């Protein structure tokens, strides 16, 4: 993470060069970014630093971080890099580096990258420069993957009404469009990926979240989804305008979505009945453990199990809740019936 005002294209190129020197020529790196103009500038500069060291680049362009991570794994690439603004720290740009499995690189690897940033003496010949490919179907491939986990026919037949707040993040270009393709009636707010928020995202502010929940109820919607810009965290409001707690969400998934093994961050460890199979997650895990059907993390991070995806990604969770709604159940009624 770095303060945006302390960065420029030269610094970003040096960081990309340091990264490429550490991993070595011949590797393939998948890159992605959020929709902000400064992120585009920084990622392009990083790409130059990566390519000049003989590393190939596959660019997913404007996508949520979860899509870039998925594409690293899906294309059997070697590494990934994502550039985007932190949603809880305005003005701070986050550089996320992933390994071949989509797991965030450890501190030792990051220290090596930073240590190489000053090693710019090496000359570069035209034959040594890596190529760049624009990965145009990154979004559709990710969409196909996450839709396998839900009954799309049920959602398309029911055409539920959904209110979505995207925090002006890259999630604007994926989840709302997926919902529209499924035939959902979508009302979206803060859905300009190039726009900036003047304050905290809706899901991070209780007053804003309460206002959002009222919009869900007053608009006659079946579900409200408030997302962070990266699309990894979400809070949900039911048809009666009640914001679901993480405990409610976990119990609902256990009751209606076939979840048997739930991973939770330590702050939620005592929130669930002892009869549930709950695994406490380590804060420093670069990737979620195998065997989890779902997970709930800090700052409302969400995960729904997948053989390929083992990182926070709120979109599959949102789709699963809509599947429940589409089967004829009201989230409010189910919430009241939770143990």
Distances (CA, A) of 265 to 67, 86, 231, 250: 23, 20, 18, 12
Provide the pLDDT for residue 178: 98
Res 129 pLDDT > 90: no
Long-range contacts of 267-276 (CB under 8 A, 24+ apart): 267/298, 268/296, 271/246, 271/247, 272/247, 273/339, 276/250
Which of the four pLDDT bands, split at 50, 70 and 90, describes residue 308? Answer: confident
In this predicted model, what pLDDT tens digit does every residue of 143-167 receive, in sequence order?
999 999 999 999 999 999 999 999 9
Query: Which domains does the chain show, CATH number per domain?
Result: 2-137 (3.40.120.10), 148-336 (3.40.120.10)
Res 1 pLDDT > 80: no
Provide the pLDDT for residue 125: 55
Average pLDDT for residues 58-64, to the nearest whole number?
96
In this predicted model, what pLDDT tens digit does every residue of 3-13 receive, in sequence order?
555 689 999 99
Whole-model pTM?
Answer: 0.93
Place of tokens 């039911």: 238
In this predicted model, what pLDDT tens digit does every residue of 213-236 receive, in sequence order?
999 999 999 999 999 999 999 999
Res 128 pLDDT > 90: no
Quick one: which of 17, 19, 59, 25 has its CA closest to 39? 59
In this predicted model, what pLDDT tens digit does every residue of 312-326 receive, in sequence order?
999 999 999 999 999
């Amino acid at each position: 993470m770095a303060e945006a005002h302390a960065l420029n294209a030269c610094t970003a190129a040096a960081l990309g060069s340091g990264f490429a020197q550490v991993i070595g020529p011949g590797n393939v790196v998948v890159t992605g970014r959020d929709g902000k103009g400064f992120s585009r500038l920084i990622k392009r500069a990083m790409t130059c630093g990566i390519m000049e060291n003989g590393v190939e680049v596959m660019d997913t362009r404007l996508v949520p971080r979860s899509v870039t991570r998925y594409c690293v794994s899906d294309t059997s690439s070697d590494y990934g890099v994502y550039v985007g603004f932190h949603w809880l720290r305005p003005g701070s740009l986050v550089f996320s580096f992933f390994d071949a499995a989509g797991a965030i690189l450890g501190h030792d690897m990051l220290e090596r990258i930073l240590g190489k940033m000053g090693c710019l003496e090496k000359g570069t010949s035209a034959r040594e420069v890596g190529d760049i490919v624009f990965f145009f179907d990154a979004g559709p491939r990710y969409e196909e993957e996450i839709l396998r986990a839900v009954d799309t026919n049920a959602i398309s037949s029911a055409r539920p009404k959904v209110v979505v707040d995207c925090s002006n993040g890259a999630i604007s270009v994926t989840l709302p469009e997926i919902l529209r393709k499924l035939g959902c009636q979508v009302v979206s707010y803060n859905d300009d990926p190039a726009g900036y928020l003047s304050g905290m995202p809706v899901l991070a502010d209780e007053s804003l979240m309460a206002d959002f929940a009222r919009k869900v109820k007053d608009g006659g919607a079946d579900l409200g989804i408030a997302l962070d810009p990266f699309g990894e965290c979400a809070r949900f409001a039911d048809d009666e305008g009640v914001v679901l707690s993480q405990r409610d969400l976990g119990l609902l998934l256990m009751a209606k979505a076939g979840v048997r093994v739930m991973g939770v961050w330590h702050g939620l460890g005592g929130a669930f009945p002892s009869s549930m199979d709950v695994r406490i997650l380590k804060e420093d895990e670069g990737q979620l453990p195998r065997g989890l059907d779902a997970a709930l993390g800090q700052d409302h991070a969400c995960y729904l199990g997948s053989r390929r995806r083992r990182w926070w990604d709120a979109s599959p969770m949102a789709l699963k809740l809509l599947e429940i709604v589409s089967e004829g159940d009201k989230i409010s009624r189910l919430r009241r019936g939770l143990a």
